[in-house]
Amino acid sequence: MPATPAHRMRPGRLGDLLGIDIPVVQGPFGGGLSSVELTTAVSEGGGLGSYGAHVLSPEEITDLVAELRTRTRRPFAMNLWVPLDEETAPGPSDAELAAHAARLKPYYEELGVPAPTAADVAARPDYEAQLDALLAAAPPVISLVMGLPSPRLVAETRRLGIALIGTATTVSEAVALERSGVDAIVASGSDAGGHRGAFLRPVRESLVGTFSLVPQVADAVTVPVVAAGGIADGRGIAAALALGADAVQIGTGFLAVRESGASEVHRRTLGTPEARTTVLTRLFSGRTARGIPNRFVREMAAHEDAVPPYPVQNALMQPIRRAAGATGRAAYVNLWAGQAAALARTGTSAAEYLADLVTEAAGAGAAGR
């Protein structure tokens, strides 16, 4: 007997693993784009709400997990970035830092903000301390991007009953993640907005589209697979499930909802014809990320290969990003968005968006039989 539309939206293996009711994971956002309200709304709606914690201190992580537990009894995920080797190396010399800051001087002056000090740039998250705080707080799910979990993390999450999710941008990364011991894998296609998580090969060699990546990953691993990138409506969900995904992860679509931590100018750009064009850029953070091009991206395009790596460039850009977001200056905001950003729906709530996704996916699945 053919599956009913409702059956097509059951979370299957991922539901068994995480205890969610619908196969929708909210993409984790860092840099202030996550919010407690969004994370809990998605979890309360039956999906998996996520919170990007990679810029938080261990104390902030402890407090955040405690707050999320007071808001929802449903599963939620805390996300961290695995640091790359280049990001743990000593920072630039004073002369190098001055040269990088000089490149941005016109923007500091236009926005009326001071350039970061050497101490600001030297400050960086302590990944191991963040992990210790997360393990002590024991959220239901920990998700990672940019690399493999350590054997210690795998052993501790298993001991504590925490589900561990890794993120792959290629089939090789997915295979490596399964071998490392993760419980599920997000197959993140090059369509996805925000930072690219490639860790086995350079980003330029790891740009596989979502609907090419998902079936290959589903064939290559045995753990549940979550499709991510370029999915913003029920048609995308139905297509991902048909290609072998157990669930989908949606980022840009949730950035547009009212509970998102994105600035008003960021949300206002999503769902417009302007959002049909996205580019990959290192200019905002020093790591390659996909977003909607604006004046800053176009003016600084010639410097893509010259900017320092994360977290140095991220620290240099922080005053510019914050001032631009607070004053509605879209020309200087990092407008992270995936290639389906024009399908985003501004002005809606997370609960309304989730309900629409379920209805649309069921209809699209039924129509496709």
112: Cα within 13 Å, side-chain hemisphere: 4
- Structure tokens, 114: 């001071």
Alpha-carbon span 233 to 345, nearest angstrom: 10
What are 103's two structure tokens?
């490149």
For 305-344, give the DSSP string.
TTSPPTTHHHHHHHHHHHHHHHHT-GGGS--B--TTGGG-
d(CA 278, CA 51): 24
Q: If you ran DSSP here, which 8-state letter would residue 207 be given?
A: -
How would residue 365 be classed by pLDDT, with cut points 50, 70 and 90?
confident
pLDDT of amino acid 10: 74
Per-residue pLDDT tens for 280-337? Answer: 999 999 999 999 999 999 999 999 999 999 999 999 999 999 999 889 999 999 999 9
What pLDDT band is residue 368 in, cutting at 50, 70 and 90?
A: very low
Residue 357's DSSP bridge partners are: none
Average pLDDT over residues 200-216: 97
pLDDT tops 70 at residue 366: no
Residue with the larger pLDDT of the pair 90 and 41: 41
> Given pLDDT bands bounded at 50, 70 and 90, which one contains residue 1?
very low
Please state which CATH number belongs to domain 5-83+125-261+344-367: 3.20.20.70
Cα–Cα distances in Å, from 247 out to 24, 146, 165, 207?
6, 20, 13, 21
Domain ranges of the chain: 5-83+125-261+344-367, 86-124+279-336
pLDDT at residue 88 greater than cutoff 60 = yes
pLDDT higher than threshold 60 for residue 369 = no
What's the chain's average pLDDT?
A: 93
Q: What is the pLDDT of residue 324?
A: 92
Structure tokens given for 315: 């620290």
Tell which residue, 23, 45, 6, 21, has the closest CA to residue 228.
23
pLDDT, mean of residues 74-103: 89
Q: Where are the alpha helices (DSSP H) in 112-195?
A: 118-122, 127-137, 151-160, 171-180
Give the pLDDT of residue 275. Answer: 97
